[in-house]
Amino acid sequence: MAKLTYIKQASQLLCMDGGRGPRKGREMSRLGVIADGSVIIEDGVIAFCGSDTLAELFMGSISKEALEKVEVIDARGMVAAPGLIDSHTHAVYAGSRENELEMRLHGAKYLDILKQGGGILSTARQTRAAAEEALVTEAKSRLDRYLLHGVTTVEVKSGYGLTVEDELKQLRAIRSLDRNHHVDVISTFMGAHAIPPEYAGRPDDYVKLVIEEMLPTVASLGLAEFCDVFCEQGVFDISQTARIQEAATALGLKLKLHADEIAEGFGGAELAAALRSVSADHLLKVSHTGIEALASSGTIAVLLPGTALFLMETPAPARALIEAGVPVALATDCNPGTSPTCSLPFVMNAACLTMRMTPAEVLTACTINAAYAVGRASSIGSLEAGKKGDVVLFKADNYKQLQYYYGMNLVDTVIKNGEVVVK
């Protein structure tokens, strides 16, 4: 007998409808709002999404035996949206770096802290020292927090191991989280996150290790779907990044890129576009040609306004990107150095208030566009028959209130695969 979950009569149901590729320009404002809308989920998969009048008719067509197994969720006074998707995180790591916030408040620069062996290298030391189970336990509590904030899918990168064994340990932890937590986890290999101390002064030897040992092992074990690189001044240059990404493509991995975060005119966005990367992320310092290149390649700009805020930097030019026709997604960048948060709703607030994205654009950026950014648009990111029954109910009269009340968690109920996991 099928299990039915009937989410009934939301004040506003945001269908988002997927289909034709990531949304750009004005399409980012189309939410498919249905007043008094309902969703019916059958065995974890959406069977119906539309007005409650039609939902009642749908229920009338179901046999009596099946009807005894219905769980009705009263959504009156709520906004119902697809489960939120965090498409860029480093959520598996050990330790914390609050001392670096103090250093930066006194004027220290992020890349200088890294050069002196802190930053990513400080987290790498702690992550190398941690057992796999400890990494899983710590990250599990982060995923619990994600769920409380309405997030049902999270992309997580490696990149705090920086040896073959420690990168594999992090990736296995990511896989174990996907298998053992309600939140779905998508894995990205990011061995090229920093040059580890053993390779100081000989970065090309580390690039060789990434290409010749890490990538083939990760690919043969099926431990990652994407490959990402920190393409930045003093970290991995354009040519090293291109070599790594070409090797990853040859092994069947899809690409993401940390692009144009800190140095002006570095050319990360142009490279991401040329390599047909699924996404180019950060983009605080993206150039005009970089924006044009992303618009022509269809590469998704994953913007991380929480990181810009935490680094006390000017955020990415979201308006220019949207106006140029680049599809935009938003993510937390959850990591211990530049964005220690699991609150995607807070990042949505920041996108609105610091980058002037509208409430509708922000919702598109964390649902359907984020689904495209993690290669999952056929199963999540919108409320449509056949997609996963991942739904979040916010205590709000309309979707505009989600960005109006800021810094507060408006999540009331989270439904994952048709099951209530937060109430």
- Alpha carbons 338 and 351: distance in angstroms, whole number: 16
Cβ atoms of 15 and 384 within 8 Å: the answer is yes
Q: Which two tokens stand for residue 73?
A: 């969720």
Q: Which is nearer to ligand NIG, 81 or 92 (CB)?
A: 92
Q: State the pairing for strand pair 79-82/391-394.
A: antiparallel
Q: In whole angstroms, how close is the CB of 190 to ligand NIG at the nearest point?
A: 8
Residue 118 interacting partner from ligand NIG, Fe ion, none (CB closer than 5 to 8 Å by kind): none
The reply to whether 335 sits in an annotated binding site is yes
d(CA 365, CA 369): 5
Can you list the positions of beta strands (E) in 145-209?
151-157, 184-192
288 is in an annotated binding site: no
| Binding span for Fe ion by CB under 5 A among 125-133, 160-168, 331-339, 409-417 | 331-339
DSSP one-letter string for 109-123: -HHHHHHTT-THHHH
Q: Which residue, 306 or 381, has its beta carbon nearer to Fe ion?
A: 306
Q: Residue 399, Cβ neighbours under 10 Å: how many?
A: 21
* Sign of torsion over alpha carbons 178, 283, 261, 404: negative
Q: Please, what's the b/e burial string for 37-50 (b: 16 or more CB within 10 A of its CB; e: otherwise)?
A: bbbbbbebebbbbb
Which of ligand NIG, Fe ion, none has residue 337 at its interface (CB below 5 to 8 Å by kind)? ligand NIG
Tell me the HSE value of 11 on the side-chain side, using a 13 A CA sphere: 13
Residue 133 assigned ligand-binding role = no
Q: From ligand NIG, Fe ion, none, which one binds at residue 123 (CB under 5 to 8 Å depending on kind)? A: ligand NIG
- Identify the H or E element spanning 144: helix 132-148
CB of 122 to ligand NIG, least distance (A): 8
The reply, when asked if residue 88 is annotated as ligand binding, is yes
Considering beta carbons, is residue 38 or 158 the nearer one to ligand NIG? 158
User: Which tokens in the block code for residue 277?
Assistant: 């990367």
Min. distance of Cβ 262 from ligand NIG in angstroms? 8
Q: Which residue is nearest to ligand NIG (CB)?
A: 337
Using the contact rule CB under 5 A, the part of the chain among 9-17, 25-33, 174-182, 325-333 near Fe ion is: 325-333
C-beta of 90 vs 388, nearer to ligand NIG: 90
CA gap 121, 100 in Å, rounded: 12
Buried b / exposed e across 303-337, counting CB within 10 Å, b at 16+?
A: bbbbbbbbbeeebbbbeebbebbbbbbbbbbbbbb
Residue 333 makes contact with Fe ion by CB under 5 A: yes
Looking at beta carbons only, is 261 or 361 nearer to ligand NIG?
Answer: 261
Q: Which is nearer to ligand NIG, 79 or 308 (CB)?
A: 308
- Residue 90 counted as an annotated binding residue: yes
Indicate whether 270 belongs to the interface with Fe ion (CB under 5 A). no
Q: Find which of Fe ion, ligand NIG, none residue 119 binds, CB within 5 to 8 Å per kind.
A: ligand NIG
Q: How far is the CB of 387 from Fe ion (least distance, A)?
A: 27
Task: Considering the complex, state which of residue 223 and residue 280 has its C-beta at the smaller distance from Fe ion.
Answer: 280
Residue 384 interacting with Fe ion (CB under 5 A): no
Binding of residue 232 to Fe ion (CB under 5 A): no
Q: What is the closest distance, in whole angstroms, from the C-beta atom of residue 387 to ligand NIG in the complex?
A: 29
65 is in an annotated binding site: no
Which helix or strand (DSSP H or E) is residue 36 part of? strand 33-42
- In the complex, least distance from residue 100 CB atom to ligand NIG, rounded to whole angstroms: 8
The residues binding ligand NIG (CB under 6 A) are 90, 119-120, 123, 230, 258, 261, 307, 333, 335-338
Question: Residue 280 in contact with residue 304, Cβ under 8 Å?
Answer: no
Tokens 């993401």 map to which residue? 256
Q: Which residues are annotated as a binding site?
A: 88, 90, 97, 160, 193, 258, 261, 333, 335, 337-338
Q: Which residues are annotated as a binding site for Zn(2+)?
A: 88, 90, 258, 333
Which positions lie near Fe ion, rule CB under 5 A?
333
